Amino acid sequence: MSSFLTRNRLILLAYLGMVVLLLVTALFSPGFLSESNLRSTLVLAAFVGIVALGQTFVIIGGGIDLSIPWVLNSAAILMTLLCAGQDLPLFWVAPLILVGGAAIGLINGVGVAIFGVPPIIMTLAANVILQGLILVYTGGSPTPSAPELIKFLSVGRLGPVPVILLIWAVLALVASLLLSKAAFGRHLYALGSSATVAEFSGVPTARTIILTYASSGLSAALAGMLLTGYSGQAYLGMGDSYLFTSIAAVAIGGASILGGSGHYLGSIAGALVLTILTGLLPALNLSSGALLVVYGAVILVTVSLGSETFASLWGLVFKNKKQKTEGD
Amino acid sequence: MSVSVAERPAETEPARHLAWRGWLLDRAPFLVACLMLLVVVAIYGALQKGVFTLDEINLDTAAAMTLILAATGQTIVLIRGGIDLSIGGVISLGTVIAATQFSDDPLTVVMWSALILAIGFAVGALNGLLISALKLQPFLVTLASWSILNGIAMLILPTDGGGVPGWWIGFSYNQILGLASPVWMLIGLIIFWYWFRATRLGITIQATGSNEKSAFLSGVSIARINVVTYGLSGLFAAAAALYLTTQTGAGSPTIGKDYILPSVAAAVIGGVSLFGGRGHLLGTVIGALILTLIGNLVFVLRVSSYWQPVMSGVILLVAVLASSLAEKTARGQEQ
């Protein structure tokens, strides 16, 4: 465990930052630490966290997924259209949409891995094409409200625990096991560190790249459906803010945008930090402009802390621990 | 491509044939972009009367100019091997400052315009400094500064509004020799480019983008190159903001994000490589014109305007696949 923390000091730092942020917020707004407020903060963080799951995989593999906004939005709109407010269709609609999201990711992955298209361009094109197609299909008109069942999954509770937190916890467990224990995780870190070295070491690089984008499409589609349950309906542009927050959550969680490092446990902390900040600003009477300034500053500070320049500093702080793990 | 004189084979028939193919493959992405522009213009011209007139050229250039300016900065950064997402923030901030500070007095307008350009350069230079000093990734640094600048713009002007003087709005209607001022700007920009790419700075930026390590080893100060490259990108983004206010007549704290990814797309459609070292402003201009003309095309085809993003996405993919195919073929030939 200690070696895990040494390797992932940035993740530890993200959680530390989150705790400090919570305490500061509590200082300014005493009601913030109430059970109901913490619960609603966690629920909001869950949406960011679920979107960031796929983005984490993609970024660890050295790519980036800009198609998230409209995969999310398309999933939300298609679900409400196909279900028309009824619960029963959800049993075939939900799997269909998850497969659809994964399929978009698959196309992205094939474009990147097989055809050599830069990830930024491939996923950007997928995003605008999807946006256009959905707008043409719906004509921009509003869609029916979300089925009750999906509302239960997003805002319902089992005892004191929101259902969506259980969903998030299961996803986090699966993602962590995949990254830390499964062959997929080993392949992914190898791929992100150096695609060439990975290729020559027998890592199935194309398959691994395609899987990361497919999982990103899958998690964006899931988040889109759940978000529809949360807001009661699907609307155009509902995914737009999640592009920035998903990348920011992964970056704050300590992953390098170049790939090869990072962990979903870090992205969880990133999602929590971003959501707490969103809650902090109304308490301080600050506008959404100030929120953007703070978001940017937090990203700059966290990526600076992860930079090579600070690495030597960290080396001094963690010197003893490092020697111990090397001695193991 | 870089065969030294000593190694170059005698100019026999097959060698000349190869050189000619190499020249073509080298420019394949640019030629594909030209072809796509021709197709778009041909369809547009077939369906709409009066496309091949000076008026139409004036109008389309005026419509494309904001994107062209933003994409010029982006092109310089892409050739350096980086990316600049902060231009969205610079554009928002620029329009907001202009719309709140400009008055009827021309001197005030000139002073604030100079200040906006200076802010653009300073913000970009700061990006470049952070990227070099802390060895940070351009994508994340400029994403963060985009967020900060956009936030500041929202603090100055929370919603779209403000105003600029009437004579400022009339800028793109001024004509000399039948050509509107945006067309003259475009001509100036292209002349600037042919001068700039041959300067010591232009050559160094391209060399650094091709191979940072060898540029460093030959004595290039990477930090200085980054500061200047991103500074220029910020400067062009600020110019785009000023031009945008002549079109909209108002400030908008959110409008900048509409130019971030399209500026990258315009450059990539025009054959600028995302891996650095390759690209030309002419290609970027053609890319920006294609993206702008698609809007007209959707109109004359009488289909839903929602097809516009679909078309631009498909064109982007075609362009990038063409260049990746050409690169693969060229590499296969060298071996």
Q: Using the beta-carbon criterion (under 8 Å), do A303 and B146 form an inter-chain contact?
A: no
Neighboring chain A residues of B134 at a CB cutoff of 8 Å: 304, 307-310
**Tens-place pLDDT, residues A212-223:** 999 999 999 999
Full set of structural domains in chain A with CATH: 2-22+35-319 (1.10.3470)
Q: What is the pLDDT of residue B209?
A: 82
**Is it the case that residue B1 has pLDDT exceeding 60?**
no
The reply to whether B78 touches chain A by the CB within 8 Å rule is no
Neighboring chain B residues of A140 at a CB cutoff of 8 Å: 306
- How wide is the angle at C-alpha B48 spanned by C-alphas B44 and B51, nearest 5°? 75
Q: Using the beta-carbon criterion (under 8 Å), do B311 and A132 form an inter-chain contact?
A: yes
**Tens-place pLDDT, residues A243-263:** 889 999 998 888 887 877 888
Buried/exposed B148-172: b ≥16 CB within 10 Å, e otherwise? bbbbbbbbbbeeeebbbeeebbebb
Q: What is the pLDDT of residue A318?
A: 57
Q: What is the pLDDT of residue B274?
A: 84
Q: Using the beta-carbon criterion (under 8 Å), do B309 and A128 form an inter-chain contact?
A: yes
CA atoms of A54 and B265, how far apart (whole Å): 24
Comparing CA positions, the residue from A175, A256, A164, A255 lying closest to residue A216 is A175
Chain A: closest CA distance from residue B169 (Å): 27
Neighboring chain B residues of A237 at a CB cutoff of 8 Å: none
Cα separations in angstroms, B214 against B131, B207, B208, B220, B275: 19, 8, 8, 9, 15
**Is it the case that residue B198 has pLDDT exceeding 90?**
no
Neighboring chain A residues of B154 at a CB cutoff of 8 Å: 287-289, 292
**Tens-place pLDDT, residues B300-313:** 887 877 888 888 88
CA atoms of B160 and A253, how far apart (whole Å): 34
Q: Using the beta-carbon criterion (under 8 Å), do A124 and B317 form an inter-chain contact?
A: no
Q: Using the beta-carbon criterion (under 8 Å), do A290 and B317 form an inter-chain contact?
A: no
Q: What is the pLDDT of residue B61?
A: 87
Nearest chain B residue (CA) to A294: B148
Q: What is the pLDDT of residue B203?
A: 86
With residue B179 as reference, give the H or E element that holds it: strand B179-180
**Is it the case that residue A323 has pLDDT exceeding 60?**
no
**Is it the case that residue A70 has pLDDT exceeding 90?**
yes
**What are the residues whose beta carbons fall under 8 Å from the beta carbon of A101, sequence distance 6 or more?**
A71, A75, A217, A218, A219, A220, A221, A222, A224
Q: What is the pLDDT of residue B163?
A: 81
**Is it the case that residue A308 has pLDDT exceeding 80?**
no
Instruction: Mutate one of A130, A285, A304 to test the B interface: name it (highest B CB count within 10 A).
Output: A304
Nearest chain A residue (CA) to B132: A309
Based on C-alpha coordinates, what's the Rg of chain B?
Answer: 21
Neighboring chain B residues of A122 at a CB cutoff of 8 Å: 317, 320
Identify the band that residue A4 occupies on the pLDDT scale cut at 50, 70 and 90: low
The secondary structure of residue B251, as a DSSP letter, is B
Comparing CA positions, the residue from A79, A83, A108 lying closest to residue A221 is A79
Nearest by CB to B134, which of A117, A244, A307? Answer: A307
In the numeric block, the tokens 């260049």 are attached to: B323
Nearest by CB to A124, which of B147, B265, B307? Answer: B265
User: Of the given ranges (A170-179, B149-158, B324-333), which has the lowest mean pLDDT?
Assistant: B324-333
Contact B96, B159 (CB under 8 A): no
CA atoms of B155 and B150, how far apart (whole Å): 9
Kindly state the percentage of chain B with pLDDT values over 90.
33
CB proximity under 8 Å: B 158-177 to A:
158
Q: Give the residue-averaged pLDDT of B264-278.
A: 87
Q: Using the beta-carbon criterion (under 8 Å), do A289 and B253 form an inter-chain contact?
A: yes
- Considering only residues A140 and B89, tell me which one the structure prediction assigns the higher pLDDT: B89
Q: Give the residue-averaged pLDDT of A175-190.
A: 88
- Considering only residues B266 and A305, tell me which one the structure prediction assigns the higher pLDDT: B266
**Tens-place pLDDT, residues B171-196:** 777 778 878 888 899 999 999 999 98
- Considering only residues A146 and B92, tell me which one the structure prediction assigns the higher pLDDT: B92
Kindly state the percentage of chain A with pLDDT values over 70.
91
CB proximity under 8 Å: B 278-307 to A:
304, 306-307
Buried/exposed A228-251: b ≥16 CB within 10 Å, e otherwise? bbbeebbebebbeebbbbbbbbbb
Q: What is the pLDDT of residue B332?
A: 67
SS (H, E, C) B125-154: HHHHHHHHHCCCCHHHHHHHHHHHHHHHHH
**Tens-place pLDDT, residues A102-118:** 999 999 999 999 888 88
**What are the residues whose beta carbons fall under 8 Å from the beta carbon of B35, sequence distance 6 or more?**
none
- Considering only residues B38 and A12, tell me which one the structure prediction assigns the higher pLDDT: B38
**Is it the case that residue A321 has pLDDT exceeding 60?**
no
**Is it the case that residue A292 has pLDDT exceeding 70?**
yes
CA atoms of A244 and B142, how far apart (whole Å): 12
Neighboring chain A residues of B272 at a CB cutoff of 8 Å: none
Q: What is the pLDDT of residue A284?
A: 76
**Tens-place pLDDT, residues A53-69:** 999 999 998 899 999 99
Write out the two tokens for B71. 């994409």
Instruction: Mutate one of B129, B258, B272, B320 to test the A interface: name it (highest A CB count within 10 A).
Output: B320
Q: What is the mean pLDDT of chain B?
A: 85
**Is it the case that residue B252 has pLDDT exceeding 60?**
yes
Identify the band that residue A303 occupies on the pLDDT scale cut at 50, 70 and 90: confident
Q: What is the pLDDT of residue A123?
A: 93
Q: Give the residue-averaged pLDDT of B142-151.
A: 92
Q: Using the beta-carbon criterion (under 8 Å), do B151 and A290 form an inter-chain contact?
A: yes
CA atoms of A56 and A70, how far apart (whole Å): 18
Q: What is the pLDDT of residue A320?
A: 47
Identify the band that residue B12 occupies on the pLDDT scale cut at 50, 70 and 90: low
**Residue A145 CA, distance from chain mean position:** 25
Query: Which phi-psi region, left, alpha or beta, contains residue A249 (left: φ > 0; alpha: ψ -120 to 50)?
Result: alpha
Kindly state the percentage of chain A with pLDDT values over 90.
31
CA atoms of B35 and B52, how far apart (whole Å): 17
- How wide is the angle at C-alpha A290 spanned by C-alphas A128 and B160, nearest 5°? 60
ipTM summary value: 0.83
CA-based torsion, A252, A314, B84, B240: positive or negative? positive
Q: What is the pLDDT of residue B4?
A: 45
Q: Give the residue-averaged pLDDT of A270-276.
A: 90
Q: Using the beta-carbon criterion (under 8 Å), do B316 and A124 form an inter-chain contact?
A: yes
Q: What is the mean pLDDT of chain A?
A: 85
Q: Using the beta-carbon criterion (under 8 Å), do A244 and B274 form an inter-chain contact?
A: no
CA atoms of A257 and B241, how far apart (whole Å): 29
Q: What is the pLDDT of residue B126?
A: 94
Furthest-apart CA atoms within chain B: distance in Å: 68
- Taking the CB of residue B187, how many other CB atoms lie within 10 A of it? 12
Neighboring chain B residues of A64 at a CB cutoff of 8 Å: 139
Nearest by CB to B136, which of A111, A121, A303? Answer: A303
The reply to whether B321 touches chain A by the CB within 8 Å rule is yes
Q: Give the residue-averaged pLDDT of A125-147.
A: 86
User: Of the given ranges (A2-11, A161-170, B51-60, B285-294), which has the lowest mean pLDDT?
Assistant: A2-11
Q: What is the pLDDT of residue B204?
A: 85
Neighboring chain A residues of B143 at a CB cutoff of 8 Å: 244, 247-248, 296, 299
